[in-house]
């Protein structure tokens, strides 16, 4: 089993790593949300341990189906039936098997969104993955493989 730990507190991260390695598990550790996202995008993990307040991202990643989109936002239907507005910026990275643009964010596409939750409940996207592959299913979020 291969595990990714995303934790900014070095002592905590190293303690988690040590405990998991004692169980003969393969463990990678990164210290920011962006590093975790980058590594999870290119490596195959069985489990991701994520500090929800890690620098580079705050809040839970969301996943679901795009209900509507324009050049500034997308509305995503979550697995529990609710929806979330995701704000796009010029810095938002949008990924698929190949690089894509805001024009590829179309209704019906499955997405995973990583970013910061705003006080009004919307999310400002840092990274969006089109057609993500998930191993597990959560109520409103899931970890990327």
Higher pLDDT, 109 or 15: 15
Structure confidence at residue 98 as a pLDDT band (50, 70, 90): low
pTM beyond cutoff 0.75:
no
Task: Determine which helix (DSSP H) or strand (DSSP E) holds 2, and give its type and residue range.
Answer: strand 2-6
pLDDT at 36: 84
* C-alpha separations of 143 from 4, 24, 131 in Å: 11, 22, 13
CATH superfamily of 62-130: Copper binding periplasmic protein CusF (2.40.50.320)
Mean pLDDT of the chain: 80
Protein fold of 2-50: Rossmann fold (3.40.50)
Q: What percent of the chain has pLDDT over 70?
A: 83
Give 68's pLDDT tier (boundaries 50, 70, 90).
very high
Q: Quick check: 73 and 100 in contact, CB under 8 A? A: no
Distances (CA, A) of 48 to 81, 124, 135: 25, 22, 11
Domain limits of the chain? Answer: 2-50, 62-130
Residue 9 Cα distances to 15, 35, 89, 105, 125, angstroms: 10, 14, 29, 35, 24
């Amino acid at each position: 089993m291969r595990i990714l730990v995303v934790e900014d507190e070095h002592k905590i991260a190293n303690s988690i790593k040590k405990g998991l390695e004692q169980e003969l598990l393969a463990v990678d550790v990164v210290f920011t949300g962006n590093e975790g996202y980058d590594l999870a995008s290119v490596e195959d993990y069985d489990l991701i341990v994520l500090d929800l307040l890690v620098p580079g991202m705050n809040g839970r990643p969301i996943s679901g189906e795009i209900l509507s989109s324009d050049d500034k936002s997308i509305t995503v239907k979550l697995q529990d039936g609710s929806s979330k507005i995701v704000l796009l910026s010029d810095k938002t990275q949008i990924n698929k098997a190949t690089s894509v643009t805001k024009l590829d964010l179309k209704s019906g596409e499955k997405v995973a969104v990583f970013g910061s939750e705003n006080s009004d409940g919307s999310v400002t996207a840092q990274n969006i993955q089109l057609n993500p592959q998930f191993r597990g299913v959560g109520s409103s979020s899931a970890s990327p493989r």
